[in-house]
Each structure stands twice: as C-alpha cells, then as structure tokens.
A = this chain, B = another copy of it.
Amino acid sequence: MTINDIAARAGVSISAVSFALNGRKGVSDQTRARVLQVADEMGWAPSSAARSLAEAKTETFGLVLARDPHNLGVESFYMRFFAGLELEMSIRGYGLLLQVVPSVEAELAKLAKWRNSRSVDGIILVDLHVEDPRVALATQPGALPTVVVGDPSLAGGLTSVWTDDAESMRSAVRYLADLGHRRIARVAGLAALAHTSIRDAAFADETRALGIHGELVRTDYTPQQGAECTRAALTGAEPPTALIYDNDVMAMAGLTVAHELGLDVPGDLSMIAWDDSVLCEHTLPSLTALSHDVVAFGSHVARRLFAVVDGAEPGAFLDSTPSLRVRGSTGPLRG
C-alpha cells in the first residue's frame, strides 16, 4: 500500500495525503481528518507511512540521458527542453535530477536504482528506442510515475507526450518537391532512436509517393558527420539538389561544405534544418527549418508528469507539430 492508495480512497491528491499525514499546512482540517481516517481504516503503518511520505517528498523529477558527454552540448535541443521542464517544475518547487550515462544499460541501472530508493517522484524518458527496455521497466509493479517523450506506439501504455514527426517530414518533402526538387537527401540522426525511424519511414514514403528520389544518410548528430555526409553526397555521381538535416548544427556544417564546394544556396542547393534554433537565423543564407517550441514542449512534459504523479489516467498527448519556417536556404533551382 502506498499513499497513492489512500489518496484514491479518500478522493484527494497525493500531495494532500502527504500534507495530512505529515501534519503540515496546505490542507484543510476537514481533508486532514478524512485522510487520517482513511489511512487508519486501511491499516496504514507508521513505517510504510514514513517510506511513502518520503516518496511523495523528494520534489524532484529524474531524467537520464544516455549520450556521449563530449557531444552533449553540441545541440541546443536538450538544454532548451530542460529549461522548459524547469519553468513548469519551479512553480511547484521541483528540481530536475539529471544523469548523463554512457549507455542505455547504465541508464536502466540508474532508473532501477531510483525506483528502489524512491529518489525521485517521477521519471521522464527521452531518446526512446524501439521496444525500449526502459519502457518495460517503467510498466513493472512498483515503477515510479513516468512520462514517455516520444511516439505513443513506443510508450507501452504509459503517458506520452509526442510530436507528429511523420507529418513534419512529409510537409518538408512536399515543400521541396513543389519547388521542383527531384533528388532529396535526408541526413539522419542516430539509427537506434525511434523518432529517427519514424522520420526515415515518412521520408521514404513521401518521396516514393511523389515519384522523386530520396536518399538516406546516417550520422551521430555531430557537425563533423554532418559535414562529411554533405561532402560525400554532393561530390557523388548523382548529387541531391536538396538536403534535410536532423538538427541545426549539421545543417550549419553542411552549408559551410556547400560554400567550400562553390555551390550557391539556394540557387544550386536547398537546405532544411530540424529543429530550428537561433543558429539558423545567423548563417548566410539563413536556414529554413522545421520549427518547434522546445521550451514549451518541455513545460508540457512536466505538466503531464505532475498529472501522472497526481493519479491521472495514462494518455497520449500531441504537442504542436514542427512546422516549416522558410528562410533563405531553400528555393527553386537556378535556371
């Protein structure tokens, strides 16, 4: 039995139970009396009370990031995402417990430790893989409240917050096709990540549907690989006339390669970045990008996790769909 059970039986929030059992302010005398009565009826023991009270009181959400620490700062996505989480969490006085680990295995071990020690009140799962073992862990008995950041199909019935990456990718491909491009390359991120697969599939489907050539190249998100892949594609036998990159820094590095090769952007070549960032506004030409308010996305995720902690039923919540912000790097082919 946990204080979740008492909260459910008493029809009040977990916070209210915590306040009532702990003799703290923040709950009416009436609610306090009701909670104590229900706790008594349910045979609530002080030891388990202390334990569950601790559960409800870390005022911390946990997030583990399995990424190479040396590449971690390159993309601004996660820092903006964290900032959005914190905007919402700070309203309730919550902090983010962040762990950077080298592998998904290490992440699993950390998540299991948090579950056993109840070190955090809830978990945010990011960088989802297909058949992700972390989702399996989060659906076991005794799991901490969890929100999956990713497609509902990956969430194992847990609450998820997601963006419709397939629709965004299709819109980008259609936009380039409408400009007259018939050979498009996708410079994709890490293959193991589920959202990469979703974008891959949408890219393949849409280019096929439009009867144009779609080429896929694989990277680790670093500008180094963004530059190398761009150079390889543009110096190949049948180079693409448009490139869609899976982040902003690869697009920036790709643009530099295009300049080095003497290509005019967008006269010879169009380029799209995903996600948009302030970097995209400060290249020459500025980069057309799939734009998403990542700070707001983070806040949305935090709100859903608070709801889960408070006992909300699981659900799949669609965040705003990344939409094309057209700048200088895309256009019709010259001549």
Q: Taking beta carbons and an 8 Å cutoff, which residues of A are in contact with B? A: 59-60, 62, 69-70, 72-74, 76-80, 82-84, 86-87, 90, 93, 95-101, 106, 110, 113, 119, 222-224, 226-227, 249, 252-253, 256, 259-260, 277-279, 281-284, 294-295
Contact = CB atoms under 8 A, between A and B. Distances in A.
A48 B69 CA distance: 39
17 contacts: A69-B295, A70-B80, A70-B83, A72-B82, A73-B79, A76-B76, A78-B79, A83-B100, A86-B98, A86-B100, A90-B100, A95-B98, A95-B119, A98-B98, A222-B278, A223-B278, A249-B282
Contacts of A222: 278
Nearest to A71: B278
Given A223-B281, A283-B256, A73 B83 contact: yes
Given A96-B97, A99-B95, A283-B256, A73 B277 contact: yes
**Number of this chain's copies in the complex:** 2
A73 B78 contact: yes
Contacts of A283: 252, 256
Top 10 nearest A-B pairs (CB, nearest first) are: A69-B83, A73-B76, A73-B79, A253-B282, A73-B80, A86-B100, A223-B282, A72-B83, A256-B284, A95-B99
B295 A282 contact: no
Contacts of A256: 282-284
A93 B113 CA distance: 10
A252 B282 contact: yes
A90 B96 contact: no
A74 B73 CA distance: 9
A101 B282 CA distance: 27
A315 to B, nearest CB: 26
